[in-house]
Every structure is written in structure tokens, then in C-alpha cells.
Amino acid sequence: MSFHWRWDFTWAILPRLMWATVNTLLASGIGYAIAMVLGLVFALLLRTGWKPLTLPLREAIEFIRSTPLVLQIFFVFYVGPQFGVRLSPWVSGMIAIGLHYSCYLSEVYRAGIESVPRGQWEAARALNLSTRDTYMRIVIPQALPTSVAGMGNYLVGIFKDTPMLSVIGVAELMQTANAIGSETYRFLEPYTLVGLIFLMLSLPTAGLMRLFETWVRRKLGM
Amino acid sequence: MSIWDFLLNFGPRLASGTLYTVAQFFLATIIAIACALLAGLGKLSGNWLIRGISVVYIEIFRGTSLLVQLYWIFFVLPFFGVTLPKFAAGFLSVGLNIGSYGAELVRGAIQQVPKGQWEAAYALSMSPAQRMRRIILPQAFVIMLPPWGNLLIELLKGTALVALISVTDLMFEAKQINGSTFLSVQAFGSALVIYYILARFMITPFMRWCERAMNRRLSRA
């Protein structure tokens, strides 16, 4: 076979891939929202310092972080029916991605909170601030710049991991490209277009996140 | 079926899958380290052509998904006359992908070596190649070892995707077993545990050992 790019075919499949892009973005957004909230819960639970809770939780986070996401997606999707719970591809995919990345984000939050010097905690205590005020007005604003960089990386990371959802049939970009490929026996255009779409979305996002990071730093006078 | 019966029945298949995963891991690691060094040094090069090629490689492989790269290398490269067997396509794409992340680590570590070291090497009239090989790289190596530990775990996780082009690795076997027995918890669960053991009790301790060994060597020298 030889290299032969067909433009008419490209234009014919482009609308379908564009719609799939919407699904990809939606999946990244929902997954990231779940990960941000769950990650914060994990980070705060780990800060309680109550050993019977923190030790298993730390180990569980380590487990999820060091095993493949694609396997976790399969696990969530196929384990339900074995116990009589049937989850749709979307739901199980979002659970798997959200859980996987919440473990990364909890580390990002933890690193951010730990980057705040001890003196700040002590000063807040000396000023008789409540725990809430200590976190909301002293610690979190200072932890933010450190965390924003890591959070940005994982936003792009989630976006790039959504193609794994195709293995359980979520109709995102990769799944759509596979479908086009098996309908038309042309793989060159769909796969190349998917790659280009990813490049065009992830490079600007990474750039924007860097700008946002410097903006946060300046805003907080750091 | 209890978990012991399950392991008795399917243990050999899981073991053969693990072997494939480990092979993919080692081959991909070699490619990743080579690409990372080449592109990392290339990005710092004075020659604009070399710098350009490195930047393009890094941005393309960091900007798209591993799965997209894997499918592209396996399904689309044949259109350009390059047909790779699935095993080679697997470790090649994982290695190229992780290498692009490694390149940034290499570049960052080289730039973190204190300026005085560069100047001292210059004052001793070392050639640029000598300076890089004997002064800068050993120190950069120590700086970048810890993040490489994380990256190698990402690489191990990445090798699970080669199952999608039918390389018979651990992930593939787990999927097959699940398909024929519907014992999802056991099939995927034991695969998850094996991946965890590989990452936590092999890669991480090995990297720690490397860090200690390198630190000892540098302080003695």
C-alpha cells in the first residue's frame, strides 16, 4: 500500500470527528471535576493524621497511581455486572478516570499545603484564627501557586488519557476514529486527524495554564 | 470459583503475560532513555536544526495520547511502507512517548547543574564533549533520578496499552480470561495486583538503590 491522502474523505469525516471532540472534552471536564473534589477529600483525610485511616488510604492511593488506568477502566466496567450492578460505559469511565486522577491531585494538594512555611501556621495560630480562616485566608492562597502548575499538568493529562475510554465503547475521538476505520478500511486520515486534533487542543491548553500560573503568582504578589 | 482455584487454572497464562509485559518494559525503557538523552541534549544544542527537530519530537509526543501514537504507528505507518510487527510497534511507541517526557527531565537537570561547574570545566580547558560527559552529565544524572523513577512507573502503566494491538501481555491475558470466564474481579484484580507488585516492589526499590549508589559515587569522587 502506498501513502495516499484523500482530501474528499478528510472533509467527509471531519464533522463526525468534531462531534466526537465534544465528547472527549466533556469526558475530560467531568473526569477532572470528579478528580478535583475527590482529590481534595483524600488530601484533607490524609491531613487528619489518624493512623487507622491514613495508612490504608495512602496505600490505596499508591495502588491506584501505580497500576494502568486502562485496566482500572475495564475493572470498573466489568465488575459491576458480576454483582448485578450494570454501569453504562460513560459512568464507569468517569468513575475510573476521576478516581485515578484524584490520587494524583491529592498529592498535588498535599505538596501545595506543605510548601507553606511553618511560620505561617504558627502566625495564624498566634493571631487566634479559626481553622477555617487559617485554611481559607492564610494557607490555601499561598498553596495555590504551587498547586496550579501540577493541576494544569493533570488537566492536560486527563485530556490525553480519554482515548482509553474507547476500550469500553465511549464514543469519544478514538472510538469514532476506530469506527470510521472499520467502516471504510481507511486508517490514515482518521488516526492522523485525531492526532492533530489532540495536538491543537493540548498545546494551547498547556500554554494557557503556564500563563494562568504566572497570573496567579502575580495576583498574590509572589 | 475461589481465588486459589482461579490462580491454579489461569496462573500460567498470567505468568506468560507478565513475561511479555516485563519484556515490553525493558525494551521500551531502552528506547525511552535513548530518546530522552538525544532530544534533551538536542534541545540545548546551539544548532537550530537539531534544536528544532528535538522540540518538534517532544511537542508531538507530549501533545498527543499514547494510544493515538500506538495506533498511528501500528495502523498508519504501513501506508508509508513501514510495517512493524505488533510487538515492536508496542515497545517502540511506549518508548518514544515516555522518551519525550524524559527529554524535558534531561534538559531540566542539565540546566540545574550549578553555573560554577560549567565555568570550572571551562577554566580547566576541557572540550565541550569532555565537559558534558565528565562534569555535567554525572551531576545531572543524580538530579533527574527521582523523577525518572516516577516516569518508569508511567512507562510500565503505558505498556498495558499494547494489549489493544493484541500483544499478548498481562493486560491482554486478563482481558481474554475475563472474556471466556466472566470472572472479572479475579481476572482484572490479579492483573492489577501484579502490576502493583512490579511497580512498587521492583521498580521503586531499584530506583532508590540507584539513587543511593549514585550519591555515594559522586561524594567519593
CA neighbor of A38 nearest in space, from A89, A107, A119, A92 = A107
Q: Out of B63, B158, B161, name the one closest to residue A203 (CB).
A: B63
CA-CA distance, A71 to A75, in Å (whole number)? 6
CA angle A69, A74, A80 (to 5 degrees): 125
Q: CA torsion A76→A78→A79→A85, rounded to 10°? A: 100
Are the Cβ atoms of B160 and A62 closer than 8 angstroms?
no
What is the interface pTM, i.e. ipTM, of the complex? 0.89
pLDDT digits (tens, 9 = 90+) for B108-132: 999 999 999 999 999 999 998 899 9
Interface A-B: count of C-beta contacts within 8 A = 115
A142 — pLDDT class (breaks 50, 70, 90): confident
Answer whether B171 sits within 8 Å of A203, measured CB to CB. no
pLDDT tens profile A197-222: 999 999 998 889 889 888 888 887 76
Cell numbers 498511528 correspond to: B72
At A94-115, the pLDDT tens digits run 999 999 999 999 999 999 998 8
Q: For residue A4, name the pLDDT band (cuts at 50, 70, 90).
A: confident
Calculate what percentage of chain B has a pLDDT beyond 70. 99
pLDDT of A53: 93
> Which residues 6+ apart lie within 8 Å of A152 measured at CB?
A206, A209, A210, A212, A213
Q: Which of A72, A78, A164, A182 best probes binding to B when mutated, by most B CB atoms within 10 angstroms?
A: A78
Q: What pLDDT, on the 0 to 100 scale, is given for residue A222?
A: 67
- Across the range A135-162, mean pLDDT stands at 89
Region B22-36: what's the mean pLDDT?
97
B:78-117 residues touching chain A, CB 8 A cutoff: 78-81
Q: Do A81 and B184 touch (CB under 8 A)?
A: yes
Which of B71, B77, B152 should we substitute to test contact with A (largest number of A Cβ atoms within 10 Å)?
A: B71
Answer whether residue A2 shows pLDDT above 60: no
Closest residue of chain B to A199, computed from CA coordinates: B63
- pLDDT of amino acid B110: 94
Residue B10 has pLDDT above 60, yes or no: yes
| The dihedral sign for the CA sequence A78, A84, A89, A93 | negative
pLDDT at B175: 92
> Of B105, B161, B127, nearest to A164 (Cα)?
B161
A4 touches chain B (CB under 8 A): yes
Tell me: pLDDT of A77 over 70.
yes
Mean pLDDT over each residue of chain A, to the nearest integer: 90
Domain A7-219 in this protein, CATH class: mainly alpha
> Is pLDDT above 90 for A5?
no
Q: Apex CA B94: angle with CA A29 and CA B210, to 5°?
A: 105
Question: Is A60's pLDDT higher than 80?
Answer: yes
Which one of A62, A71, A195 has the shortest CB-CB distance to B160? A71
pLDDT at B52: 96
What average pLDDT does the segment B43-61 reach?
94
For every residue of A156-205, DSSP letters joined together read HHHHHHGGGGGGGT--SHHHHHHHHHHHHS--HHHHHHHHHHHHHHHHHH
Q: How far apart are CA A31 and CA A6, in angstroms?
A: 35
Flag the least confident range among A135-149, A155-169, B154-168.
Answer: A135-149
Cell of A195: 492526532
Q: How confident is the model at residue B20 (pLDDT cuts 50, 70, 90)?
A: very high
| Residues of A in Cβ contact (< 8 Å) with B71 | 174, 177, 187, 191
What average pLDDT does chain B have?
92
- Model pLDDT for residues B75-105, shown as the tens digit of each residue: 999 888 888 999 999 999 999 999 999 999 9
Residues 6+ apart with CB under 8 A from A143: A109, A112, A113, A115, A116
Name which residue leads in pLDDT, B219 or B44.
B44
CATH topology classification for B3-220: MetI-like fold (1.10.3720)
Cross-chain CB nearest to B200 (options A3, A66, A195): A66
Domain boundaries, chain B: 3-220
In this prediction, residue A219 carries a pLDDT of: 81
Q: Which among A71, A191, A203 has CB closest to B75? A: A191
Verify whether the Cβ–Cβ distance B65 to A161 is below 8 Å.
yes
Report the C-alpha dihedral over residues A33, A96, A158, A45, rounded to 10 degrees: 50
Band the pLDDT of A48: cuts 50, 70, 90: confident
Q: Which of A65, A163, A206 sits opposite B65 (nearest CB)?
A: A163
| Euclidean distance between CA atoms B112 and A150, whole angstroms | 20
Which whole number is the average pLDDT over A182-190? 89
Q: How far is B179 from chain A (nearest CA, A)?
A: 10
Let me know the angle formed at the C-alpha of B65 by B63 and B67, rounded to the nearest 5 degrees. Answer: 155
% chain A with pLDDT above 90: 64
**Boundaries of every domain in chain A:** 7-219
CA distance A166 to chain B (A): 10
- A92 and A70 Cβ atoms separated by less than 8 Å: no
